[in-house]
Every structure is written in C-alpha cells, then in structure tokens.
C-alpha cells in the first residue's frame, strides 16, 4: 500500500467543523482512500472511503483533491465522542494486499 | 446492527502456553482478518482468510500463529507458545467484499492478551 502522511495531532472545539488532512503523493490510479478511526479502548471503525469524487455519509465527508495527491476528512460538527485517532489508508482495488496498513494517524482532541 | 464479537475480552497466560482467541464475524461476511496492537503502538495486520485458507499474512504471522474457521461461524487465532512480546490487543475483523470498492472492514472490540 502507498504511504500517507497525516499530522500527529489536531485540536478542535465541540460543535465546530474539523478538517483532517492527509497527503498521499504517491497514490496510484487504482488506490482507494479509506478513513478509519479508533476511539479510546476500542477497535478501529470504518468512517468513509472514496476514489476520485467527494463522498458524504452520515458520519463525515471526504474531499479528494483533483490530482488525488491529498484528501481531507471533514467532520461537520464535532462532538466529544469524535475524539479519536483518525487513520487515512490507501487500499489497492486491483487485487493487492488484503490487509489494511495503519499508520500512526491523527489524534483528534475535542475541547468542550 | 450486526457486529463482530470477540472472546475472551482479556486473557492472562504464562510464557510458553498456548492461547486461542475467538471471533464470531458478521454472518454473511466472507473475508476475515486478525490484527494486533501493542500498547501505545500502531495497529498491525497479521493475516487475512478467505474460502477456508489464508490469503495474505504479514511477517509477524510466523509459525507460532495459526488461524482456523472450525465450524463456519467462529474464526480463531492460535498462538502455540506465547512470548512476552505477544502481549497486545488482538482485533478480529470481517468484510463482505474484497477490494476497496466494497471492502469496508468491521472490527471487534478486541481481546487483550497479557503474557507473564
């Protein structure tokens, strides 16, 4: 899996939007961009994924740059429950390795 | 909402003992995975399993580890002779489809293994 780069930590206030960046300059044409998060003392949890177009679901939005070398996970209105480590992961759709490769992720701190 | 369940939630064992961690994946899922996370470190891929055989494994998954789907519902991870460095949280995951288009993984809450 190609590498991603994320800030180690970010801080935001409750009820405000949060933009979590991810750089993936070596992304290949068949790589999907996945986001997972891990709340304290829990297993990872799927958030969203996309290939080229921006994506929205009930949890978040994913904005993908036109050249696909970066993406941003957007939490529209952060709550205390959104405090977690967020992982940006590239996953090959072309029959590559099955296992997700987790990096260190971004530790998101939400202030009340 | 369907979920992946893991047992035990915490196991303490002596070095050299065999350990079996159990997982019940979501019922219609076809792909199964084990990951581990040593305290304070990254989540690491161990192995993936499909159609009753291993499809991918990492360097961590050596001869001390094995996986099995003994009865069509459980998915187990066995560590034959535990070492101190096997102490970690072990996560099971399952997926309905392979590949990034439909490859959302559902993770369990984990089994904490402590080797003394």
The pLDDT of residue A99 is 76
In chain A, residues with a C-beta closer than 8 Å to the C-beta of B55 are 98
Question: Please, what sign has the CA dihedral across residues A81, A87, A91, A97?
Answer: negative
- Min Cα distance B81 → chain A (Å) is 24
Among candidates A44, A46, A93 on the partner chain, residue whose Cβ is nearest the Cβ of B43: A44
The pLDDT of residue B73 is 87
Q: Is the pLDDT of residue A2 over 90?
A: no
The pLDDT of residue A95 is 53
- Min Cα distance A67 → chain B (Å) is 19
Around B67, how many Cα atoms within 13 Å sit in the side-chain half-sphere? 25
A46–B45 CB contact, under 8 Å: no
Reading the block at residue A7, the tokens are 């800030």
Each residue's pLDDT tens digit, A44-66: 999 999 999 999 999 999 999 99
In chain A, alpha helices (H): none
User: Order of strands across the sheet with A61-64?
Assistant: A18-23, A70-75, A61-64, A55-56
Percent of chain A with pLDDT over 90: 82
Q: Is the pLDDT of residue A94 over 70?
A: no
């Amino acid at each position: 899996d190609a590498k991603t780069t994320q800030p180690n930590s970010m801080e935001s206030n409750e009820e405000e939007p949060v933009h979590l960046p991810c750089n993936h300059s070596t992304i290949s044409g068949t790589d999907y961009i996945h986001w997972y998060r891990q709340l304290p003392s829990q297993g990872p949890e799927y958030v969203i994924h996309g290939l080229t177009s921006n994506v929205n679901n009930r949890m978040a939005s994913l904005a993908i740059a036109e050249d696909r070398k970066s993406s941003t996970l957007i939490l529209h209105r952060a709550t205390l429950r959104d405090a977690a480590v967020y992982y940006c992961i590239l996953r090959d759709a072309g029959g590559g390795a099955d296992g997700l490769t987790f990096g260190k992720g971004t530790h998101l701190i939400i202030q009340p | 909402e369907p979920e992946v369940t893991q047992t035990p939630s915490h196991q303490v064992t002596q070095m050299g003992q065999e350990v079996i961690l159990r997982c019940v994946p979501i019922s219609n899922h076809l792909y199964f995975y084990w990951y581990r996370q040593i305290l304070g470190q990254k989540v690491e891929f161990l192995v993936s399993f499909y159609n009753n055989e291993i499809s991918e494994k990492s360097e961590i998954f050596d001869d001390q580890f094995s996986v099995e789907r003994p009865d069509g519902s459980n998915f187990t991870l066995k560590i034959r002779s535990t070492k101190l460095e096997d102490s970690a949280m072990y996560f099971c995951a399952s997926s309905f489809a392979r590949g990034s288009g439909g490859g959302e993984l559902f993770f369990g809450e984990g089994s904490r293994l402590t080797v003394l």
